[in-house]
């Protein structure tokens, strides 16, 4: 991993950069999937400055930013479990987003952020951690599988009027599983 990457919890002063980075990386990865009106609607909801400030201030979320110098190059967003599961374990948590700048892919930063997410969940006593991933994102599914995540379900993620075919992946954090 690049030696000069600083990783720390997000602060309110990061909100502008975080909102812009989230929008940029979302569009770079998934923008081709949606009509313009669906993209615009979703971006206005998910990556607004107000929403980003709310996420940073939310005591149930853990937002971590990664900077290379003054440039935001990645972030991790962990939260209470919100994925549509029929019977989730009490206390299970979720990795909502793990986004990297294209320049950071393959550097080890994603692995470091994932390790931090798992440490966070274990420190909270979570029995499992979940995430949602687009069904066609093979690179991400392979990455998560390296950590032991397994596909346990499917759902539709709404982006405007578009419904994405998503997979729910789970990692047990207890030795009994």
- Helices marked H in 31-160: 36-46, 49-57, 109-123, 138-146
Distance separating alpha carbons of residues 20 and 11, to the nearest angstrom: 15
The model carries a pTM of 0.93
**pLDDT attached to residue 1:** 47
Task: Give me the residues of the chain with pLDDT under 50, please.
Answer: 1
Residue 137 confidence (pLDDT): 93
Structure token digits, residue 14 = 């990061």
Tokens linked to 151: 């596909």
CATH topology of domain 5-172: Aminopeptidase (3.40.630)
CA distance 72 to 74: 6
Give residue 2's pLDDT.
Answer: 53
Q: Mind listing the pLDDT tens digit for each residue in 111-152? A: 999 999 999 999 999 999 999 999 999 999 999 999 999 999
pLDDT at residue 92, as a whole number? 97
Burial of 113 (0-12, 13-18, 19+ CB in 10 A): buried
Sequence spans of domains, the chain: 5-172
Residue 176: the pLDDT is 61
pLDDT the model gives residue 175:
72
């Amino acid at each position: 991993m690049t030696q000069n990457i600083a990783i720390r919890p997000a602060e309110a002063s990061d909100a502008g950069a975080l909102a812009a980075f989230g929008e940029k990386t979302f569009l770079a990865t998934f923008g081709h999937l949606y009509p313009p009106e669906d993209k615009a609607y979703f971006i206005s909801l998910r990556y607004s400055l107000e929403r980003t400030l709310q996420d940073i201030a939310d005591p149930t979320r853990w937002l971590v930013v990664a900077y290379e110098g003054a440039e935001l190059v990645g972030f991790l967003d962990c939260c209470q479990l919100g994925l549509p599961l029929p019977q989730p374990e009490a206390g299970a948590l979720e990795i909502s987003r793990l986004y990297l700048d294209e320049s950071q892919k393959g550097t080890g930063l994603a692995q470091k952020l994932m390790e931090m997410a798992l440490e966070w969940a274990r420190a909270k006593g979570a029995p499992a951690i979940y995430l949602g991933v687009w069904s066609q994102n093979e690179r991400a599914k392979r990455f998560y599988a390296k950590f032991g995540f397994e596909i346990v379900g499917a759902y539709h993620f709404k982006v405007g009027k578009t419904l994405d075919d998503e997979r729910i992946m789970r990692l047990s954090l207890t030795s009994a599983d």
